[in-house]
Amino acid sequence: MKLTPTMHRCVLHWGEMAGRWGVSRSVAQIHALLFLAPAPLTADEIAETLNVARSNVSVSLKELQAWDLVSVTHQLGDRRDYFQARKDIWEVLTMIMDGRKKREIDPTLQMLRECNADAKKDHETPEQVKERIAVMLEFLEELAGWYDQIRAMPRPTLLKLMRMGTKVAKIVT
């Protein structure tokens, strides 16, 4: 697939941001390409367009699928896989947030629960430290619960709430 200068620039930028976003350059570039591409692409087309090894594309696509950002389609009479990215920006954000919560928050939440339980029969750890762990656990539980609630709300409602901005504060006055 031929990239116009504008598309080229976007793909490169995605690649540069990859490190900060916690993915490899290939993953980010492939995602940018598929997001912009008007039609689904094959793995070979992706490899050729971005000048990366075919195997690398394979691994990166698996990761993007794990994030639920990319899916596979097929064309009649063609047994190759065609890959397409989620185009709905709101959904993209949701998938990324879900993924991050799962990878960055949930394991720590789990660990804090265990630590907090252990703390009960732990007589060497200062009360102050136990208390800090307990507070942090409580906070994260609350945050996670809130996220799940918000996550379950219909999108139009969330959009309206967002657009109200600071005005939502009025209901708690």
Partner DNA sequence: TTTAAATTTCAGAAAAGACAGAAATAACCG
Partner DNA sequence: CGGTTATTTCTGTCTTTTCTGAAATTTAAA
Of residues 55 and 148, the one with the C-beta less far from its own copies: 148
- Inter-residue contact 67 to 99 (CB < 8 Å): yes
Span interacting with its own copies, options 3-11, 41-49, 52-60, 68-76, rule CB under 8 A:
3-11
Q: Which of residues 71-130 bind its own copies (CB under 8 A)?
A: 87, 89-90, 93, 103-104, 107-108, 111, 115, 118-119, 122, 124-126, 128-130
Show the site string, 72-101: x = touches DNA by CB under 7 A, - = not: ------xxxx--------------------
Pick from 74, 135, 141, 155 the residue near its own copies by CB under 8 A: 135
Whether the CA torsion 42, 45, 50, 56 is positive or negative: it is positive
Q: Which is nearer to its own copies, 54 or 114 (CB)?
A: 114
Q: How far is the CB of 1 from DNA (least distance, A)?
A: 15
Q: Are 4 and 38 in contact (CB under 8 A)?
A: no
Beta bridge partners of 82: 42, 73
- The residue type of 77 is G
- Residue 38, classed as helix, strand or coil, is coil
What is the rounded end-to-end Cα distance, in angstroms, of the chain? 56
Contact between 153 and its own copies by CB under 8 A: the answer reads yes
